[in-house]
Structure 1
Amino acid sequence: MRTLFSGEVNVAYGQLYVCSDDVHSLEASFAGQRAGLCGGTVRGHLFLLTGTHTGSVPITVELHGTEPPLDADVWEDVVEVSFRPVSDKTGLVEWDGGWYALPVSEAPYRVRYHCRGMDEAGGAARDAGEPVVDEYLLRLWPSPPAPDRVVKETSRTAAYWHEFARELPPGPTPEEQAEAERLAGEEEERTALRQERDEWGGRLPSDRLREVQGTLRRFQGCPRLVDLDAALVHAIDAAGPKEQRALARWAAHRACRTAGLSEIDWVARGLAELDRGEPYSQPLDDPRRLRDAAFSDPRIPRTHDGTPGLPQVAAFAALFDAAAPDPLKAALDALLAATVTHGTDWPHLFTEVRRTFPATAATPKAEGSDSQ
């Protein structure tokens, strides 16, 4: 036997729970049971009732290897239900969200809930440190599912809750619950697909786009490339690695020219190295050196406060992005950087992309578009 928890917990409205997900309603937890006090109808969830309405009650939770002795003589009310955790993070949960870990596995258990002093507590409030009125013991042991049962009934409180449970309409059968969960899962998947399709301009992205989407560059305050022209993004994806690499280099050249950097010797050298597929030389080989060069070279256009402006920052980003190992990421990031350098003239830039790279001029047909 292992004691998983022993101490005082806070209750409100006479409620305490054992679960690994959201707390479920009183009615759902007891629907279809003959026993009150411990609701086990909802899979992975136990709804425990106490005599104390608000405040602190002592409870012990034990895990046994086999069915333990009944000990009915020392407890006034005892009920049993079946329970199967749905996660390895099951806990004893207070009404206000307090949580105490219960290390149990995702296996079927029998639960025996022992209560005493419920009538004496009488729905009153009790603070920690005050004399104990009602107390509780929860025992679990491995066991296949079986109907709930009232093992011992003494108090008026228990009789009330037993009657309450028996008057509830039956809940869904396990098969009905499983079907409802399956349908809910399918609807959740459809909703996720709809959201993803909306995010990508009305069509689902390819696996390659999904791979790179979390690593694509963003510029603060600037829209994503897919928000500006989703059809172009999908066409670039479909164009293939060779076209993507060529587009990345083209975009870096356009960004540097638009930002007024192309004639600076070390930038021009970097563009030539990019075209040859060679590693960058100084200062483009190191972000720190590039930053120092960008701030110290008086030939770089600057804002009123003396720092390189957004077009210049974006152009340097395009240089780095165009050399990225992944050709699709290189093309999308470098083109976005070039877009930033063009400001509101970005539609003209996209027109040039389609004219320069005919493979991007037509939007590829979406696979399974009629069925999504």
Structure 2
Amino acid sequence: MRVLFDGPAPVDYGQIYVTSRELPDMQQAFAGQANGLCGAGDPGVLFLMTGTHSGRVRFRIELHDDEPPTAAAEWEDVVEVSFVPMAAAVDLVPWGDGALARLPLTPDGRDGGRLPVYRVRYCAAGMDEGSDPFGGLDPDEIDEDDHTYLDRRPDRYLLCFWPEGSTGGDPSGGVVRADAVLRQSSRNAAYWHTWAHGLPTPLTLWERVEAEVRRRAEEARRNEEYRRREELRRWGGRLPSEQLRRVRGNIHGMLLLDRDLVDGVAAADVATQRKIAVWAARQACALAGIADVDWMTPAWTALERGGPLPDEFTDLTALRTRIQGGPTVTVVVASLRRRGAAPTDLLRAALDGPVDPVAMALPALVAAGESDPLQAALEALWAAVSTYASRRDEFLAAVRRAFPIVDQTDVG
């Protein structure tokens, strides 16, 4: 037999724990047990009740090679539980504090393979006296500034461990047995035993597994529903086709402004999409007065042949400088969002503001050269809408006239 701990142990709320993992849940520790003094329902943890609510009680912990003799008569309350450790060394942990003592359950405190199931006997004496706030002392005889009575509690406890399999072969072959109340004398113990009996029956392992499966399935369902609703919100209340979903780039402005047109462009063949991109770029540049600039001819030629833009036409800053004859100036405009305004209302309000047509039109030219025809069409359309600004409805009507195949207004 080895003594793992022998000394005063602080308790609060009448609790102290032995644990090789996180602290236990009280109800889970005692649910389904006959005794309410030593809860072992959570593997790796013992939840120990004391008569003293707050103070220091005498605690002794022993490790035996096999089952010790019957508890001496001095121990008024005795219970037993099976304990499944999660590590070769456990800790004695007071409520709301760090470990008080390390308790090695193997000779060196190290895992040497499979750990045994332990039987644990918890013995108590003086629990009723300990439940008295002053521990049986007369408060009238204690000075108001004398708190030493908290260190002189009348209740004391013994905790004995031994491997369940030590008398029947390999200790690791031990099995978990039901807990038992071997002796009951105090009112305090009777109260906790009655409380434990009233707890709901704990779930079996299979029931816990099934509950976890259901929880995960519900979590997945909720996450999927959130994803679907978030996608609906981002796509203007209508889920996109897979082709449209794969498009990268700045297309959400067009989604908010004219979702029917976006769907119509997405449903068109790639040749039509490419024609829309070039047409929208020409319309925007024409409005800005730069479509027929001589040196831009190579750009239009390349786009109309379905090829990429020449490199000199892909730098927007350089293009603006060349057109405007000097360094460009970037103007940042900040606006306050009206409370309760819908995104579409905010977008229309922004488009109604004054714009630099050249600055708005040149991105349409670059967009028309994108390798993805659908992205090219949608980004060029958006740049053209931004160029037309408050006249955007005029431009959108022109798109439908030029390309009737994309008019989805009455579809569905």
Pairwise TM-score range, normalised by the shorter structure = 0.5 to 0.7
Structure 1 residues 123, 180: CA separation in 2 closer, same or farther (over 3 Å shift)? closer
Aligned twin of 2:145: none
Letter in 2 for 1:267: M
Counting aligned pairs with the same residue, the percent is 24
Structure 1 residues 237, 263: CA separation in 2 closer, same or farther (over 3 Å shift)? same
Unpaired stretches in structure 1, ≥5 consecutive residues: 1-12, 41-45, 52-70, 82-110, 127-131, 144-148, 367-372
Unpaired stretches in structure 2, ≥5 consecutive residues: 1-15, 50-61, 66-80, 105-109, 124-156, 160-178, 180-188, 332-354
Aligned twin of 1:292: 318
C-alpha displacement of 1:247: 0.6
Letter in 1 for 2:100: V
Higher radius of gyration, 1 or 2: 2
Q: CA-to-partner distance for each residue in 1:24-72, whole Å, 9 max, x for gaps?
A: 99479769676857846xxxxx999899xxxxxxxxxxxxxxxxxxx95
Equivalent residue of 2:262, what SS?
helix
Q: Does 1:115 align with 2:90?
A: yes
Structure 1 residues 177, 280: CA separation in 2 closer, same or farther (over 3 Å shift)? closer
C-alpha displacement of 1:292: 2.8
Q: Does 1:152 align with 2:134?
A: no
Contact 1:27–1:168 (CA<8 Å) still a contact in 2? no
Structure 1 residues 241, 133: CA separation in 2 closer, same or farther (over 3 Å shift)? same
Letter in 1 for 2:227: A
CA distance in 1, matches of 2:19, 2:281: 62
Q: Choose which of 209, 212, 220 in structure 2 pairs with 1:177.
A: 212
CA distance in 2, matches of 1:48, 1:364: 70
Scaled by the length of structure 2, what TM-score is found?
A: 0.51
Aligned twin of 1:359: 405
Scaled by the length of structure 1, what TM-score is found?
A: 0.56
Contact 2:308–2:371 (CA<8 Å) still a contact in 1? no
Q: Does 1:133 align with 2:133?
A: no
CA distance in 2, matches of 1:193, 1:28: 39
Q: Choose which of 80, 84, 92 in structure 2 pairs with 1:80.
A: 84
Structure 1 residues 73, 304: CA separation in 2 closer, same or farther (over 3 Å shift)? closer
Aligned twin of 1:330: 376
Aligned twin of 2:236: 201
Aligned twin of 1:101: none
Structure 1 residues 31, 179: CA separation in 2 closer, same or farther (over 3 Å shift)? farther
Q: Does 1:344 align with 2:390?
A: yes
Q: CA-to-partner distance for each residue in 1:254-302, whole Å, 9 max, x for gaps?
A: 1212223213222344123211224434621x52xx5234224436997
Q: Choose which of 366, 386, 392 in structure 2 pairs with 1:320.
A: 366
Contact 1:260–1:301 (CA<8 Å) still a contact in 2? no
Contact 2:290–2:358 (CA<8 Å) still a contact in 1? yes
Contact 1:238–1:364 (CA<8 Å) still a contact in 2? no
RMSD, aligned CA: 4.8
C-alpha displacement of 1:154: 4.8
Structure 1 residues 304, 332: CA separation in 2 closer, same or farther (over 3 Å shift)? closer
- More deviation, 28-37/185-194: 28-37
Contact 2:29–2:46 (CA<8 Å) still a contact in 1? no
CA distance in 1, matches of 2:87, 2:308: 70
Equivalent residue of 1:117, what SS?
strand
Letter in 2 for 1:340: S
Q: Does 1:237 align with 2:212?
A: no
C-alpha displacement of 1:205: 0.8
